[in-house]
Amino acid sequence: MEEQEFSNEIRTNLELILKEQLELSAKTDYRQVAAFIPFVYQSERIFLSAAGRSGLALKAAAMRLMHFGLQVFVVGEITAPAIGAGDLLIVASGSGTTSSVLTAAEKAVKAGAKVLAFSTTLTSPLAKLAAHTIIIPAAQKEDHGKSISAQYAGSLFEQGLWLLTDAIFQTMWAEKGIPAEQLWKRHANLE
């Protein structure tokens, strides 16, 4: 492929991704998503756990929640303490069967914490453990039929997770009316 062909293909693919995200947005149940906020406000501490690219999206959400002034931990990081009653574990798994995420949810429930899940299904083992599940109406990573998404594996879910958690943060920020300068004081300064 020539540079111009790559250029055209990249633009076409970006437009496909944006189109799929707009379609996903139109299918999302925002009342279900809004239930996320009370869970966050009522929790003493917040833990986040997911694998792969979903894990990267939840790490981005963890950063924004920390900027908001909440006590936030990423599961698996060496400084993450034990979870307990009054805490919230936010997890993401498109299939609801990712073993590391499922194990974390089981342990959280056993410790008395609540679990809030992002998934593509309400019928998974993870959804059964969660106090609330937010459905992202995307393809699961092993859905290769391209009937829901033309993108590879769980890309639509992972992108939707990132965008949805940013939209939730934006909503919380607007609702609290905290000046950006106050949030910025919590931004990493050792970069």
CA 33 remoteness from chain centre: 11
Catalytic residue, chosen from 142, 158, 175, 191, is 158
CA 191 remoteness from chain centre: 24
Q: Number of C-alpha atoms within 13 angstroms, CB side, residue 184?
A: 3
What span, in angstroms and rounded, lies between the C-alpha atoms of 58 and 100?
14
Residue 160 has which token pair? 């939707």
Is 15 part of the annotated catalytic residue set?
Answer: no
Angle formed at CA 31 by CA 123 and CA 112, multiple of 5 degrees = 55
Alpha-carbon dihedral sign for residues 80, 163, 91, 139: negative
Q: Hunting for tokens 């501490």 — which residue is that?
A: 45
List of residues 6+ apart from 37 with CB closer than 8 A: 168, 171, 172, 175
Residues involved in catalysis: 158
